[in-house]
Amino acid sequence: MEKNSIPYLMKWEQSIIAFFYLFVFLVAYYLTSLQLQSGVSDVGSHLFFVEKIFNGEIYLPHPLWHLCVHYMKYVTFEEKSAAAMVTALFVVFWVYVVHAVYRFWTGKEKNDRWTLLFLAIIFVIGPAYLPTFSKFIIPGVGSPNIIHNTTLFAVKPFALLTVLFTILALEKKILSYYVVGAVSLLFSIFAKPSFVIAFLPALAFYILFKRLFNKETVIYFVLLSLMSVSVLGYQFMHTYGDENDSKVIVDFLGVWSRYSPNVLISIMLGLMFPLVYTLLSIKNVKENNYIQLVWLITLVSIGYAAIFAESGPRYNHGNFFWSYMISLSLLYVVTIADYFKRMNHINRMSKIILNTVLIWQITVGVYYLVRFMEGYDAAGLVVLPKFIS
């Protein structure tokens, strides 16, 4: 390749990445608008809360998305457009954070075809799907990409930033890393508290297993805990107070069993690529602190989904599953990024297996996305003849 052609190639790669960001924004905007029209998701319900929060009529523990929609209305002059705009921007922010973290982890200073492929996979990948197991893709299984919940879009970027800067802080012991990790966690609480309730116990296990009992780590964990528990305590009292018709109850697999014919198989389908990658590349996983922490977050979140539920009218909502959905998103980012980084050092048979699983889940994710854009419900109903054709 001639040297003079390199700047043009870099500009072309940058243009492709920019176009991808625009594509993500347009798809997210369209999907949110579609959901507001069809009423097949949580978007309409959350939009209904926006002005009630500002009028003091209701309390919502995670108002970040709602606050953004309220102020975006001063730009769009219309509530539904503001909701679609804010949701699309949060999705773009998520992709941007994933992009930046991927380049940091892989040591890539410039974009390349692998970067674009990685971002595209993260944007569309779904769970593994077995037609003989269920006619629905999402219920009981979960997915690294949940389209119908706006607050999930808001929390995921801050969750990934929290993981990144927490590990960096524990490794480098640099003050700015501690600060950014704590601030990211605080933002995540107001976006959706489902992440922090899994993150803190997982971080405690991580510190225990790694025996990181130095002064800086202990102070950081204590400060994170005090900050988080204070906010969570206030949120809990206002969400499950005496006047509320829902309470937190212990109900082992009660909700999960309603959505899955076999919980263990559902978990394996949801975790398919990260699970296979961990089993085939255990040495790589042992060297990656990010994967280890996110796996701990995932295991804690599975525990929440299996053990706890809400009594009353919100029982079937399965709100203790959101920690698991967030952890799935993070787990797919860290494992696929590590796979791309170490691909040349993975043996041929393992690579064939991993690529097969990846293609399987990408196909399911694309199918789910297309069906959703056609107006079908968020459960991902599979019409088998159309899926095969």
pTM of the model: 0.92
- DSSP code at position 266: H
- DSSP code at position 57: S
Beta bridge partners of 308: 250
Sorted by where each begins, the domain ranges of the chain are 5-388
- DSSP code at position 381: B
pLDDT tens-digit map of 273-332: 999 999 999 999 999 999 999 999 999 999 999 999 888 877 887 888 999 999 999 999
Give residue 310's pLDDT.
83
Environment class of 176 (CB within 10 Å of its CB; exposed 0-12, middle 13-18, buried 19+): exposed
**Cα–Cα dist 192/153, whole Å:** 9
Q: Which of 387, 381, 336, 329 is nearest to 357 (CA)?
A: 336
> Which residue carries 């779904």 as its tokens?
126
Question: For residue 44, what are the contacts with CB-CB under 8 A and spacing of at least 6?
Answer: 35, 36
pLDDT tens-digit map of 167-226: 999 999 999 999 999 999 999 999 999 999 999 999 999 999 999 999 999 999 999 999
| Mean pLDDT, rounded, of the chain | 88
Give the C-alpha distances (Å, rounded to integers) separating 287 from 209, 291, 385: 14, 9, 44
Are 340 and 118 in contact by the 8 Å Cβ rule? The answer is yes
Q: How far is CA 329 from the centre of its chain?
A: 3
Helix axes 79-106, 322-342, angle to 10 degrees: 40
